[in-house]
Amino acid sequence: MTPLKTLLGTAAFGALASAATAEDPDLLVFDYSGFENPAFHTKYEEKNGQQPSFAFFGEEDEALQKLVSGFKADVSHVCAGSVMKWEESGILEPWDTSKITEYSKLDSNLLGNDVAAESTYFIPTDFGSTAIAYNTEDVPEEAVATLQVFKDPEYAGRMTLPDNVDDAYALAYLATGTTDWTAATDEQFQAASDWLREVHPNLRTYWTDPAELAQLLATGEVLVAWAWNETLPTMAEEGFPIGFQREAEEGSSLWLCGYVNLRNGPGSEEKAYDFLNSFLDASNAETLMSEGYGISNTDGLQSLGEQALIEGGLEPIDVPVLAQLPMPVELREKQSEEFEKIKAGF
């Protein structure tokens, strides 16, 4: 999963990282465009008198290659699916969780097995949900009570999945009864792949960004989609009859991104923790939500109130949740290879 608000703006940064207007020379953050928003870092500025400095990347593989090739920064944004690959590359050093003031308040669903860890390579900071978006005028609620709607011939040719291996396999694992992909067996992987292969002929397309998905829904070309939570408020604001089913009987998914501590960063280690603690501060919840992101700090998220969470597609639910936690590199590469075959009709 790539942070949803950045997909429309990354192309301008090309294949190379580019530095933003310099701010604090003691901290360089490698990030997606959009996360330099000063409103995200008010606590950092209050403590240090300046905003952090930023350099940008478009895709995580590009960012990894840049870092492996010698580009130096202090911390970097990355989504969970890439974490183990980055860790294996040797460019990371662990965070000391005792220095992360809000660590005990982070959502345990996003931490996986690291709930009580003294150190960890990845701190989840921002997240969203993936569930069934549908046209409520043409699709009855009972039709989307199960993820098997994507097999329903009634909607063949008018459904879409993301062109994103993590989101697609999150759906397929859930649909075939797996809710934790971090230890998926070969049999579970095969069942998920077979399910995606069966669904493929029913799809109109694989959507690549939220704007494309919104257009597909608005024109009526698509009635049912596996979609990010941003779709709900975006379409609702346009007066579109949009539903967002997070409580299908098999469950729904959470994507998550966060920050890693880069080995041998040129700046201040103390300020790296200042940056992370600022981002995770509960007061950041409203600002992040206004851009389509949930904060991993449960106190901050709850402070928004039930209605705001419902409108943002992040309310508490009572069904299985597959959190897109870091997975073994071998499994992710296997999924990527298989997904390309499925999309090609093989």
- From residue 267, alpha-carbon distances to 74, 282, 320 in Å are 6, 26, 42
CB atoms within 10 A of CB 297: 24
9 and 107 in a single domain? The answer is yes
| 203 vs 237: CA distance, rounded Å | 26
pTM for the whole structure: 0.85
The whole-number average pLDDT for the span 191-197 is 98
User: What is residue 118's predicted lDDT score, i.e. its pLDDT?
Assistant: 67
62 and 144 in a single domain? The answer is no
93 and 186 in a single domain? The answer is no
Please determine, for residue 23, whether its predicted confidence score (pLDDT) is greater than 90.
Answer: no
138 and 152 in a single domain? The answer is yes
86 and 160 in a single domain? The answer is no
Give the model confidence (pLDDT) of 174-190 as tens digits. 999 999 999 899 999 99
176 and 101 in a single domain? The answer is no
Query: Which residue, chain included where needed, has tokens 């192309």?
Result: 11
CATH code, domain carrying 305: 3.40.190.10
Which band of pLDDT confidence, cut at 50, 70 and 90, is reported for residue 300?
very high
178 and 85 in a single domain? The answer is no
122 and 42 in a single domain? The answer is yes
- From residue 10, alpha-carbon distances to 18, 85, 207 in Å are 11, 22, 17
279 and 202 in a single domain? The answer is no
| 340 vs 94: CA distance, rounded Å | 33
Please determine, for residue 211, whether its predicted confidence score (pLDDT) is greater than 70.
Answer: yes
Domain boundaries, position 73 = 4-127+257-311
Show the beta-strand stretches assigned E in the chain. 18-19, 24-31, 52-56, 75-79, 92-93, 95-96, 119-120, 123-135, 159-162, 203-207, 224-228, 242-245, 252-262, 294-295, 321-323
Number of domains making up the chain: 2
62 and 117 in a single domain? The answer is yes
139 and 222 in a single domain? The answer is yes
The whole-number average pLDDT for the span 57-83 is 94
The whole-number average pLDDT for the span 278-307 is 95
Q: How many CA atoms lie within 13 A of 110 on its CB side?
A: 26
Please determine, for residue 113, whether its predicted confidence score (pLDDT) is greater than 60.
Answer: no
Residue 66 CA to its chain's centroid (Å):
22
211 and 276 in a single domain? The answer is no
Find residue 203's DSSP bridge partners. 159
User: What is residue 58's predicted lDDT score, i.e. its pLDDT?
Assistant: 87
* Angle at CA of residue 117, ends 65 and 183, nearest 5°: 65
